Amino acid sequence: MNNNFSHDNMLRFFESASSIIFLIAWWKFDIIIATAAIIFWLTCMAFYSFIVGQPLNRLQKFIWLSSLILGGTTILLNNPFFIKIRSTIVNSVVFLFFSFSHFIGNKTITERLLANYIPAPKNMLRNLNASFACFVLFIACCNYYTAYYLSEQQWGWFSYGGKPIIYLIYISTVIYYFKDYLKDIEAAIEKTQKNKKQN
């Protein structure tokens, strides 16, 4: 159990650090080298997953494969547009999954993921699901606009300056939306962690 947990954390580290790897390589060299760096880094993530026997989750698989395809195309054609729209494609797919979950099945993705952690009414969780779908669609559209119409530097400022600010605003809004349940959320998280340790 502990080994699986540590391997899962390691995979999350690979996933989270990929943006930093790309940014450093882009800053030191250029976007083509940065693209090669992120392909190598995410392939290391996939190799690590295979070696330790901890499967990648669906999002990690999609991020890795989209980097291989779009990044490979970027390198082969020497055209950075393809790697720049990776965020648009990833967020668009996330939008489709969260949107369709409103119409397919009895529960939305947010309800399935957070029902044990956020003891809020069902309609609030469904509203969160809908708002997140709209949010990632907004990010996808903004990224496409900056990638297609603006300069590479302006796209970079949006990706590593604008998007974190937008994410922070959204997260703050969600926290405020669930402010009446914050104490209950802490208790629910502790209860869930205790149950996992017992299992």
Q: How far apart, in whole angstroms, are the C-alpha atoms of residue 63 and residue 42?
A: 8
Taking the CB of residue 23, how many other CB atoms lie within 10 A of it? 16
**Which residues does the chain have with pLDDT short of 70?**
1-5, 184-199
10-61: pLDDT as tens digits: 998 999 899 899 999 999 999 999 999 999 999 999 999 999 998 998 889 9
pLDDT at 1: 43
Angle at 114 between CA 186 and CA 19, to 5 degrees: 95
pLDDT at 93: 93
Helix, strand, or coil here: 35?
helix
Helix, strand, coil tally for the chain in percent (to 5): 85, 0, 15
